[in-house]
Amino acid sequence: MATKASRSAARLMMAPAVILLMGWMLVPLVLTVFFSFKKYLPLRGDRWQNGLDWVGFDNYVRFVSSSSFWPAVQTTLIIVLGVLIITVSLGVLLALLLDQPMWGQGIVRILVIAPFFVMPTVSALVWKNMFMDPNNGLFAHLWQFFGAEPVSWLSEASLPSIILIVSWQWLPFATLILLTAIQSLDSEQLEAAEMDGAPILSRFGHIVLPHLGRAITIVILIQTIFLLSVFAEIFVTTGGAFGSRTLTYLIFQRVLESQNVGLGSAGGVYAIILANIVAIFLMRIVGKNLDT
Amino acid sequence: MSFKSTACAATALTLATAFSASADSHSPTITIATVNNGDMIRMQGYTDEFTEASGIAVEWVTLEENVLRQRVTTDITTNGGQFDIMTIGMYETPIWGKNGWLVPLDGLSDSYDVDDLLPAMSGGLSFDGTLFAAPFYGESSMIMYRTDLMEEAGMEMPDEPTWDFIRDAAAAMTDRDNDINGICLRGKAGWGEGGALITAMSNSFGARWFDEDWNAQFDTEAWANTLTFFKDLMDASGPAGYSTNGFNENLSLFQQGKCGMWIDATVAASFVTNPADSTVADSVGFALAPDAGLGKRANWLWAWALAIPAGTQQKDAAMKFIEWATSKDYIELVAENEGWANVPPGARTSLYENPEYQKVPFAQKTLDSILTADPQNPTVDPVPYVGVQFAAIPEFAGIASEVSQEFSAAYAGQQTVEEALAKAQDITTEAMEAAGY
Amino acid sequence: MARAVTPRRKALFTMIAWAIGLVIFFPILWTILTSFKTEAQAISDPPVFLFFDWTLENYSVVQERSNYMRFLWNSVIIAGGSTLLGVMIAVPAAWSMAFVPSTRTKDILLWMLSTKMLPAVGVLYPIYLIFIELGLLDTRTGLVIVLMLINLPIIVWMLYTYFKEIPGEILEAARMDGATLKEEILYVLTPMAIPGIASTVLLNFILAWNEAFWTLNLTAAKAAPLTAFIASYSSPEGLFYAKLSAASTMAIAPILILGWFSQKQLVRGLTFGAVK
């Protein structure tokens, strides 16, 4: 059905989106790359209008040779992986559960997806102050009730705490997509398997999971994009202390706290490279699934 | 609704927002960025009085301290022009003033009486003898302690205690079964939080950030002593999880009666003695911050001040607001409505000469603390920088926030004091090299 | 789902699901409850759950301190404007990808998604400088544009997957009847894709509403949305749990209510092409 005319029309219709995104990608990217080769210390009075000194690859070398760089990369990956594992595995279970007939199904679904509507800043503030605070937090009261010493969550277990907060926010998203996928599952096939006496685990492993494969890859892809740039949750809770500094946070410290835009921009370029490594890896998988 | 009408509505909406942004400019409106501290929020409440008297409308952008810093710094360094007045501190003012980013406050009226500002304050908010920000309130730090618990412990707080006394008193007051910690101190990461306390404390132990050639000094014995003393003290007599406690957390703890002593900002005195919020309001005593016999006390000096960015279009209106908000009349206004204990402290000499204010229990100790802090000469050994709990160089905020993160990790037991200091030395050396020292 | 279900099994699932649902929802519930307590009750030990003196004081304090309605209105305009603008740009693009696919369609789609990976903090200075030059700082227009660009890839992808499910024969038939391309999109395609478009709008409205980096850094007084409203309550001096809870409740309530009403739509519609 693709005639020549409709092809050029199609190109025309795609143009606004493509051009806009091209601009949104290229303009900041070019400026970031430009700054990354410059000495740009705004608080020392450097202004881009007055011209900036060229420093070659100094910023790049300095950013990676900093003792904070590799731990930050590692922390980033731990947070992304941790949240993915939790949200996907719990998401599958929850989706299966929510698909079962029950009383008040609508309300339960609302309860489960509610965290998705909460702004990251708010959820970080609530978790930090009202749950994880070692003196007045609800967890501390709970621990004390059972005679245990209250845990200082954000310092003693900073990464698990942050992973918990972020997972809480993203679990609804995973559940929603997986639930939609489960609803499209052919129930007759399941019933037939049940009749044949296939045990529940093998039914899950042979029918449900393969069916969900595509949905799971999509959950992973989209969440990864958002998780790589997790920021508010760390800014509010630990401020990057106690080993919770991600690559994004390290760049924030370089650009805004240290006011070294050149160095931060070099970090930004590294972050883009890291994101793309992850992305290519992911898209290989998703691309295959996306074809059909 | 058809797609067409949705599309039209959307376009209209977008256009409407585009135009509404540039409308209405008949009466002068100034935009003020400020921090969400109690005194500032009280000031917002009186904005109407200012608008009535002057015809100048005020828009407030109230942000939490860290967000505020990030926001105003981005704006001033890029000349963004989003604010007509910015609330900044003693750290920013001389740096920004030096760069020519602030309007000099030399045209203040006679009735404002600029000479009435405490010299420590106007000195810290000036560069090269020119005042660049007007202090809204000033603070040092001092000891606030529970007189009842001190008595129970059978001890008596001297006016000028030493760290050794503090350690012993804290141990004696601690009663874990009743949830009473002998001492609460800031351990939270951030240069304005735990970083401020440990730096001021290190001054009293004879440590310093840099030697005269800008070499980082964390490999010295004085720093090791400071950090070891702090950690031992807090592990023995501090609250659980003190490595995440900042000003606010400690304030809550003290108000709930969970702290025997607390060394922190002098402005906290009015909160802990306010019976509406504090369960221990009638049993709080005050003393100067401790020393270690080396001639420097562990108290800092800070002011939250109002400054006008050079890029503003509303210079005159902004000036008028600053004159109003930091005037003697404003202090009177607050005193009349909310009592003398609630006026913004630490900015003006006349306030401390006022017999009404002298009746406030913490007035004299606040003044004494402010007067003993010397930003020009903060340490036992000479240093090339100005500032008590900070060094007024652009790189300091970034370095100190990372260094204080390493310290907090040591407080939490995730690394040893030696490891934290070694990392601090690396971070500082690295950053100073990057900045070209 | 026409499986026969024993009441016992149904009761069991009901219990488990409700228990899990309540655990997940609890932080929000606790925030809402706390917002009706006094500051002292908010930190009382042991914590009080329901039996306290309910008060609206926190809400009136918050309302007195900040002009909630203005923040709310800015949030609505910014989230709504960016979503609608995004959909208008994305519909044609998604249409052409779905119905006139070329060998590069998939690459373009994935490339679009990859533009989302630019770390925002890294490009704050460039964007801030551009905004100064264009006079867009602290304008809702500026934020509408930025948030639209941020979410455009997601919008395109979602719409693309919905459009792809629409059988091409229907379009062929319309074309036979002499429908122009514009008519084809407006009167044939769009009505069929309305559920998909609705979910897309919903999801992106939520994402835009909750975006907290650009909305905070590119605004001052005039265009500041609810994310900035929250930033003034995060850690003031003194006891603040109850006031923070009230402010938080006010910030999330509108979107929470919207989400609840559209729950069915979201459950059906969020597929990203995950369903075959």
The string of pLDDT tens digits covering residues B97-129 is: 999 999 999 889 999 999 999 999 999 999 999
Q: Looking at the complex, does the CB of residue B83 fall below 8 Å from at least one CB of chain C?
A: yes
**Chain A to chain B Cβ contacts (< 8 Å):** 109
Pairing verdict, β B301-307 and B85-88: antiparallel
DSSP at B345: P
Mean pLDDT value of segment A10-30: 87
Give the model's pLDDT for residue B24. Answer: 44
How far is the C-alpha of C57 from the C-alpha of C39, rounded, in Å? 10
Average pLDDT, chain B: 90
Residue among B77, B79, B241 minimizing CB distance to A155? B241
Confidence of residue B3 (pLDDT cuts 50, 70, 90): very low
Judge whether B368 and B286 are in contact, CB under 8 Å.
Answer: no
Fold of B141-300+374-434: D-Maltodextrin-Binding Protein; domain 2 (3.40.190)
Burial of A107 (0-12, 13-18, 19+ CB in 10 A): middle
What are the tokens at B216? Answer: 């980082």
pTM (predicted TM-score) = 0.90
Tell me: pLDDT of A258 over 90.
no
**DSSP reduced 3-state for B102:** strand
**C13:A101 CB<8 A:** yes
DSSP B160-188: S-BHHHHHHHHHHH-BGGGTBEEEE----
Q: What angle do CA B380, B211, B205 make, to 5 degrees?
A: 30
How far is the C-alpha of B356 from the C-alpha of B340, rounded, in Å? 7
Tell me: pLDDT of B25 over 70.
no
Q: Please name the amino acid found at residue C16.
A: I
How far is the C-alpha of C188 from the C-alpha of C171, rounded, in Å? 7
Residue among B244, B258, B398 minimizing CB distance to A155? B244
How far is the C-alpha of B262 from the C-alpha of B247, rounded, in Å? 10
Pairing verdict, β B57-63 and B29-35: parallel
Tell me: pLDDT of B19 over 50.
no
> What CATH number should be reported for the domain whose range is B6-139+301-358?
3.40.190.10
Alpha carbons within 13 A on the beta-carbon side of B182: 19
Cα–Cα separations (whole angstroms), residue B153 to B182, B263, B279: 10, 19, 20
Tell me: pLDDT of B22 over 60.
no
Tell me: pLDDT of A291 over 60.
no
Q: Looking at the complex, does the CB of residue C237 fall below 8 Å from at least one CB of chain B?
A: yes
Give the model's pLDDT for residue B23. Answer: 40
Q: Looking at beta carbons, which residues of chain C come within 8 Å of A99?
A: 1
> Which residue of chain B is at minimal alpha-carbon distance from C224?
B61
Q: Looking at beta carbons, which residues of chain A come within 8 Å of C242?
A: none
- pLDDT tens across B181-202, in order? 999 999 999 999 999 999 999 9
For CA atoms B275, B278, B282, B284, the dihedral sign is negative
Optimal mutation site among B4, B14, B70, B264, interface C, most CBs of chain C within 10 A: B14
Q: Looking at beta carbons, which residues of chain A come within 8 Å of B402?
A: 68, 253, 257
Cα–Cα separations (whole angstroms), residue B147 to B152, B169, B176, B184, B221: 9, 12, 18, 15, 35
CA dihedral A132, A251, B196, B262 (to 10 degrees): 0
Give the model's pLDDT for residue C120. Answer: 85
DSSP B243-305: GG--HHHHHHHHHTT-EEEEEEETTHHHHHT-TTT-TTGGGEEEEEPPB-SSS-BS--EEEEE
Q: Using CB atoms and an 8 Å cut-off, which of residues 253-282 of chain B contact chain C?
A: 255-256, 268, 271, 277
- pLDDT tens across C73-110, in order? 999 999 999 999 999 999 889 988 888 888 888 888 88
Q: Using CB atoms and an 8 Å cut-off, which of residues 47-86 of chain A contact chain B?
A: 47, 62, 66-68
Confidence of residue A191 (pLDDT cuts 50, 70, 90): confident
| Percent residues over pLDDT 70 in chain C | 95
CA dihedral A16, A20, A25, A29 (to 10 degrees): 130
DSSP at C48: P
Give the model's pLDDT for residue B2. Answer: 43
Q: Which residue has the higher pLDDT, C53 or C248?
A: C248
Mean pLDDT value of segment B1-19: 46
**Helices A158-183 and C7-34, axial angle in degrees (round to 10):** 140
Mean pLDDT value of segment B367-393: 93
Element (H, E) at B199: helix B194-204
Give the model's pLDDT for residue A180. Answer: 86
Give the model's pLDDT for residue B7. Answer: 47
Q: Using CB atoms and an 8 Å cut-off, which of residues 11-30 of chain C contact chain A?
A: 11, 13-14, 16-18, 20-22, 24-25, 27-28, 30
Optimal mutation site among C185, C222, C248, interface B, most CBs of chain B within 10 A: C222
Least confident of A39-43, A106-110, B24-28, B117-121: B24-28
**C276:A222 CB<8 A:** no
**Chain A to chain C Cβ contacts (< 8 Å):** 308
Distance of residue B336 Cα from the nearest chain A Cα, in angstroms: 35
DSSP at B309: B
Mean pLDDT value of segment A142-156: 86
Q: Which residue has the higher pLDDT, C187 or B361?
A: B361
Helix, strand, coil abundance in chain B, percent, nearest 5: 50, 15, 35
Mean pLDDT value of segment C163-188: 79
Mean pLDDT value of segment A160-186: 91
Element (H, E) at B60: strand B57-63
Judge whether B257 and B119 are in contact, CB under 8 Å.
Answer: no
Q: Which CATH superfamily is domain C68-232 in?
A: MetI-like (1.10.3720.10)
How far is the C-alpha of A109 from the C-alpha of C270, rounded, in Å? 14
Cα–Cα separations (whole angstroms), residue B46 to A248, B29, B329, C230, C235: 40, 16, 12, 22, 22
Q: Looking at beta carbons, which residues of chain A come within 8 Å of B258?
A: 135
Which residue reads 């609608």 in tokens? C84
**B431:A241 CB<8 A:** no
- pLDDT tens across B344-354, in order? 999 999 999 99
Distance of residue C91 Cα from the nearest chain A Cα, in angstroms: 9
Confidence of residue C276 (pLDDT cuts 50, 70, 90): low
How many CB atoms lie under 10 A from the CB of residue A148?
A: 10
**DSSP reduced 3-state for B88:** strand
Distance of residue C256 Cα from the nearest chain B Cα, in angstroms: 23
Mean pLDDT value of segment C228-237: 79
Optimal mutation site among C5, C16, C123, interface A, most CBs of chain A within 10 A: C123
How far is the C-alpha of B225 from the C-alpha of B380, rounded, in Å? 15
Mean pLDDT value of segment C223-236: 85
**C141:B62 CB<8 A:** no
Cα–Cα separations (whole angstroms), residue A200 to A44, A180, A212, A239, B384: 67, 21, 16, 45, 73
Confidence of residue C265 (pLDDT cuts 50, 70, 90): confident
**B78:C129 CB<8 A:** yes
> Which residue of chain A is at minimal alpha-carbon distance from C16?
A97
Tell me: pLDDT of C185 over 90.
no
**C256:A129 CB<8 A:** no
Burial of A10 (0-12, 13-18, 19+ CB in 10 A): buried
Confidence of residue A289 (pLDDT cuts 50, 70, 90): low
- pLDDT tens across B127-164, in order? 999 999 999 999 999 999 999 999 999 999 998 999 99
Q: Looking at the complex, does the CB of residue C246 fall below 8 Å from at least one CB of chain A?
A: no
Domain boundaries, chain B: 6-139+301-358, 141-300+374-434
How far is the C-alpha of A19 from the C-alpha of A14, rounded, in Å? 9
**A122:C259 CB<8 A:** no
Confidence of residue A287 (pLDDT cuts 50, 70, 90): low
For chain C, helix (H) and strand (E) counts, in that order, are: 14, 0
Give the model's pLDDT for residue C275. Answer: 65
Give the model's pLDDT for residue C170. Answer: 79
Average pLDDT, chain C: 86
Which residue reads 């009486």 in tokens? B113
Tell me: pLDDT of B218 over 90.
yes
Confidence of residue B6 (pLDDT cuts 50, 70, 90): very low
Q: Smallest Cα–Cα separation from B142: which of B361, B400, B379, B377? A: B361
Give the model's pLDDT for residue C3. Answer: 52
> Which residue of chain B is at minimal alpha-carbon distance from A42?
B77
How far is the C-alpha of A117 from the C-alpha of A70, rounded, in Å? 33
Residue among B78, B82, B255 minimizing CB distance to C138? B82
Element (H, E) at C151: helix C140-165
Do B6-139+301-358 and B141-300+374-434 have matching folds? yes
Burial of B306 (0-12, 13-18, 19+ CB in 10 A): buried
Q: Smallest Cα–Cα separation from A259: which of A85, A51, A47? A: A47
Judge whether B63 and C231 are in contact, CB under 8 Å.
Answer: yes
Give the model's pLDDT for residue C267. Answer: 75
Tell me: pLDDT of B49 over 80.
yes
Identify any residues that bridge with B58 across adjacent strands, giving them in sequence order. Answer: B30
- pLDDT tens across C124-172, in order? 889 999 999 999 999 999 999 999 999 999 999 888 888 888 887 777 7
Q: Is A243 left (phi over 0), alpha (psi -120 to 50) or beta?
A: left
Give the model's pLDDT for residue B1. Answer: 38
How far is the C-alpha of C183 from the C-alpha of B320, rounded, in Å? 61
Q: Which residue has the higher pLDDT, C26 or A276?
A: C26
Give the model's pLDDT for residue B17. Answer: 46
**A62:B395 CB<8 A:** no
Average pLDDT, chain A: 87
Domain boundaries, chain C: 68-232
Confidence of residue A214 (pLDDT cuts 50, 70, 90): confident
Tell me: pLDDT of A119 over 80.
yes
Element (H, E) at B87: strand B85-88
